[in-house]
Structure 1
Amino acid sequence: MLVHPLKIVAGLFAAGMLACAPAHAAHAKATASLNNIQFYLTDLDLTDNISPSITFSAKDAGGSFFFSSGEPSPVDFLQGYGAISRIVPNGGVSVSNTPASMYAEAHAATVPAILGVGSSAYQFSRFILSPSTRLTFSAQADAFIDKDGIEKAVSSAGINGDFSTSINGVAGSEVFSMKLISTQGQHSQLLQGSFDTGAAIGTGRLYASASVALSQYIVEPPSPVPEPATYAMLAAGLLVIGAARRKARKA
């Protein structure tokens, strides 16, 4: 059974129009946060007459972000606690940091062929812990990703620490690490870790961070301008229409 020429033309034009249509505008948003960042001490020996205590020997906090869409982009830094942000034509980045919370965000309203975005915040401290004491470090973590048409997007928030003691020449060490990661949707979790000292003091480090990243890399981005093959397809369709009309006039 032969296919009617006009049906062939319809198919040719449909294919041509699809080839000419622009690509779907991609978008993405990523956020990461830690809230209620805190620590508390527990007395493990109520008979030793030693009150639980912690002494911080060093503290540091900050953040950074960048937004690049193909051209080199400078990195903006946050020194200490505070907040910074940057708005660009097709998106933006921001980061904030306080003693009890941190937040990182990146979003792209339209995604170019090449895109690299990152935003992060951190807190770091060194400490000395009294004997017979438990240190508990915790934070409420939230990680969110909403993406459509972008290659990679990730959001993460976490806490970790390391701890060491020495009793009668015997060294001991402990480590904890907890992280919440999202590559799509909203996720929340209470993160918590702890260290215990024995009869001697202990030393350690605590670290908290929140970060997001978006990336896209397409070697040959789709073009809204028809390719030569598309022009040939449309021309063939016009020839079929012309032939069909001439045949109709002769009939």
Structure 2
Amino acid sequence: MTDKKVLFVASEMIPYLPENEVSSLAYENPRMVNDRGGQIRIFMPRFGNINERRHQLHEVIRLSGMNLVINDMDMPLIIKVASIPKERIQVYFIDNEEYFKRKATFSDEEGNLFPDNDERAIFFAKGVVETVKKLNWSPDIIHVHGWMASMLPLYLRRYYADEPLFADSKIVTSVYDRNFEGTLDKGMLEKVKFDGIAESEVNALADPDYSGIMKVAIDNSDAVIVASERIPEDLQAYLDSADKPVLPFVPIYEFEEAYKEFYETKVLG
């Protein structure tokens, strides 16, 4: 992985959010690439339950200040950054008062999904791409962890299809077990179509449940990693019929060599 540039885009990540399958692997995966001489950038949403003082987040003025259009609304983009001291790893946070100030990640105290989670995912995807453009950093691999990050492959391949910075980037999506029940906003398909993306490209968003969102991510990825021991049956069947490299599940305590080899032989090979 020496000198390869890998962009990690994650819904969750330790130590900023509680430990779970996604947040743990979203931390261990870039650490592994970093340890093997790769160049990394990490992006995640700046959820309101992340303690900014404890983790020493600070705004990057030169990267902030842009407005992103989400469903015909101008939404200001704020970029913050923090470092994981013991690993010498920097993390960029995509922030917006409207979408990410609330003191929770994906759902309220009763466990109900936030009604604007679809817009938050679109904003996050656009925010990552626009910030990487400002950094003028062209990744060899873009690796997506978690469903709120999973709009990135679609937007990169369709909305930003003519962006030269990503012309040679390979997209890898990790598919986890079902991360939420129910569906996102039923109007999600129309919001994506508003961005000029053809309905035929996103039919699965007509019913935007977890599987539908991940199918769209899979369709727009170059390779897929099964990151949970069990994933929904319909997603497994979808992967079985997909004409792209798929790495079967590997436990986190032995993922390093498997991921490195997959990157080098199947994704970049």
Q: Does TM, normalized by the shorter one, top 0.5?
A: no
Compare the two structures and name the one with the higher helix fraction: 2
Higher relative contact order (CA 8 A, sep 6+): 1
Q: Which has the larger radius of gyration?
A: 1
User: Higher strand proportion, which one?
Assistant: 1
